[in-house]
Structure 1
Amino acid sequence: MRKSFFLYVFVLLFSGMYGIAQNSLNSVTAQPGDGILSLLRKQGYDPYAVYDEFITLNHHVLQDSVHLIAGKVYLMPDAPLATVTLVDSIQKQATKIKEIESVSYEIFGEKNKTVIAKSERLKGNVYYLVSGHGGPDPGAMGVYAGKTIAEDEYAYDITLRLAKELLAHGAMVYLIIQDENDGIRDDFVLEIDHDEVAYPDKTIPLNQVARLKQRVDIVNDLYKDNKGKYQRLIVTHVDSRSVGQNIDVFFYHHEHSKNGKKLAESIHKTFDAKYKKYQPNRSYAGTFEDRTSLYLVKKTHPAMTFIEIGNIRNAKDQVRIVDPDNRQALAKWISEGVLLDFEEK
């Protein structure tokens, strides 16, 4: 696969898909070690296609809104089984297929490479996604289950999941940091490597200022190329604080950017609403505020938000980061905030 990876949407429109392979199971009992993604996959679903419906059906028997409880019975979505694995055969049988434009989605990994359209709500919009650190710099480090974990791997996984969500709504997405080998991963401990590159295939410098300047230059050059289009930048990091400090997801923006502030506020509003729905006994303490001192916030041209996911050294925050169900929820919630930002413009 070539490292230069410019994402477009590949939309399948066909009749009868949702009448294929309807699930005959109404419920299933969670076993020890099951997560939402693994449970859905074991039952034959594309877990990402039905994730939200599963959460809605079972929110009253989920721990912290995203965790299964062993021994509890969970309702299964009324949706086609193994949607992604059926795509090839469906394409051969379908009479109505519309290909807007597509490239390989190998960047998402073999299990997740197919993007099926949910809507065209973001059609024509351009989003630049930057995951923190990468290449020679793993970023903040922590220890989970006796193993070292690195910020760049988790920020990248969340960013990939976010990219897939935005693509599914018709957006044009640029992944500014890329790793052709990783894809979306459902592991708790993500293996650390140093082979990430910057779009399209640039070696990431070790020097911090050079590394940040490289990202700024890439984004600003693309911003000029896409002049006249609706453009936004989302930067994702994982913070590092004292071991005892538990923090919520929070957002930064440029002090003079009304659109950047609105983007940060829209995602923040979405997170606040999700916490009230799924964790009503726990207040959400995340904030959105200007932080123009940050290099990427200060120097990049698109309206943007800089997201800190949590403290990689804190045990409670680590659960938010290492659990793949949580990473999927984070990406989904961010994407819903992005939709809110655009549709309330």
Structure 2
Amino acid sequence: MPGLGTDRSGERQVRKQPKPKKRSGAASRRNVPAKKTAKTGRRPLSGAVFYLASGHGGPDPGAIGRYGRFLLPEDEYAYDVTIRLSELLKQQGATVYMMVRDPNDGIRNEAVLKLDKDERAYPNQPIPLNQTARLRQTTTAVNRLYARHKGAYQRLITIHVDSRSRGENIDVFFYHHSSSAVGRRLATHIHRRFQTNYRRYQPNRPYSGTVSTRNTLYVVKNSHPPTVFIELGNIQNRQDQRRFVIASNRQALANWMAQGILDDFRSR
């Protein structure tokens, strides 16, 4: 698995702008194979339930970064990482609900992801433009499903891309509610995997991403399952943009999240 920002083939993709194409989860299956336990035949995440919510969508693209003459919409990149993570978790036996779905977009490997507005909210609802209405729509759906799966290991992971000044290079950050020890534990497990993988793949680059509380975030405050809110980087910063435009880096983000999630499930 490549380190973030190191894939030379990804650089060629950026220059050539290959023709967009839809992909299945084949690449992610090669990266994190689903294994069954020897004694039970169950896959490692059997019985776990995950709600994955990529930021924004529909009429709201979220933050917009500029990449030469191209625009980088937050919702498209957050969605691509989220659907990659969804595939990995399902291959491990988990039940996964994508709280935002795009009927036309699977996993995509082009560098610049086309902005569209046809995403739908679970189960198949139009996404409102109003931010509070949109966030309430997500948490209401998650909380209803949470009640349906009462007693199961359930987690909500919401994935966003930050927007800061162009000169600010940031790492991946993880937020949880201060009263949720379980949410903190999940965030910490994923964070540790990021620390480990940065040491392995980019030993000369310190990793400064942190785990912290953010009680004011709507989904963190109002969702019933333990929740982790993830910021993938600064979509305005040239260096951080490599984390998004290079497809293998988006896959690495999903892989490392999946590793941390599996660590958390095993430690429950």
* TM-score (norm. length: structure 2): 0.88
Matches within 5 A, 1:134-149: 134-149=57-72
* TM-score (norm. length: structure 1): 0.69
Matches within 5 A, 1:1-345: 52=1, 55=2, 66-68=6-8, 111-112=23-24, 118-119=34-35, 120-345=43-268
Task: In structure 1, give the amino acid aligned to 2:23.
Answer: K
Aligned pair in 2 of structure 1 residues 240, 275: CA closer, same or farther (>3 Å)? same
Question: How far, CA to CA, are the matches of 2:159 and 2:22 in structure 1?
Answer: 24
Question: How far, CA to CA, are the matches of 2:97 and 2:7 in structure 1?
Answer: 31
> Residue 18 of structure 2 aligns with which residue?
none
Runs of 4+ residues over 3 Å off in structure 1: 63-66, 113-117
Question: How far, CA to CA, are the matches of 2:25 and 2:211 in structure 1?
Answer: 33
The structure whose Rg is larger is 1
Task: In structure 1, give the amino acid aligned to 2:227.
Answer: M
- Give the count of matched residue pairs: 247
Question: How far, CA to CA, are the matches of 1:145 and 1:65 in structure 2?
Answer: 18
Aligned pair in 2 of structure 1 residues 243, 110: CA closer, same or farther (>3 Å)? closer
Identity %: 51
| Residue deviations 1:154-205 (CA, integer Å, cap 9, x gap) | 0000000000110111100000000010111001100000000000100101
Question: How far, CA to CA, are the matches of 1:147 and 1:253 in structure 2?
Answer: 33
Question: How far, CA to CA, are the matches of 1:175 and 1:69 in structure 2?
Answer: 30
Aligned pair in 2 of structure 1 residues 142, 65: CA closer, same or farther (>3 Å)? closer
Q: Is the CA contact 1:66–1:325 (under 8 Å) kept in the aligned structure 2?
A: no
Task: In structure 1, give the amino acid aligned to 2:24.
Answer: N
Residue 113 of structure 1: how far off its partner (Å): 5.3
RCO higher in structure (CA 8 A, sep ≥6): 2
Q: Is the CA contact 1:65–1:279 (under 8 Å) kept in the aligned structure 2?
A: no
Question: How far, CA to CA, are the matches of 2:61 and 2:201 in structure 1?
Answer: 32
Task: In structure 2, give the amino acid aligned to 1:174.
Answer: Y
| Residue deviations 1:79-101 (CA, integer Å, cap 9, x gap) | xxxxxxxxxxxxxxxxxxxxxxx
Residue 280 of structure 1: how far off its partner (Å): 0.9
Residue 68 of structure 1: how far off its partner (Å): 3.4
Question: How far, CA to CA, are the matches of 2:9 and 2:118 in structure 1?
Answer: 37
Alpha-carbon RMSD across the aligned residues, in angstroms, is 1.8
Aligned pair in 2 of structure 1 residues 69, 331: CA closer, same or farther (>3 Å)? closer
Question: How far, CA to CA, are the matches of 1:309 and 1:217 in structure 2?
Answer: 25
Q: Is the CA contact 1:65–1:278 (under 8 Å) kept in the aligned structure 2?
A: no
Task: In structure 1, give the amino acid aligned to 2:139.
Answer: V
Aligned pair in 2 of structure 1 residues 261, 113: CA closer, same or farther (>3 Å)? closer
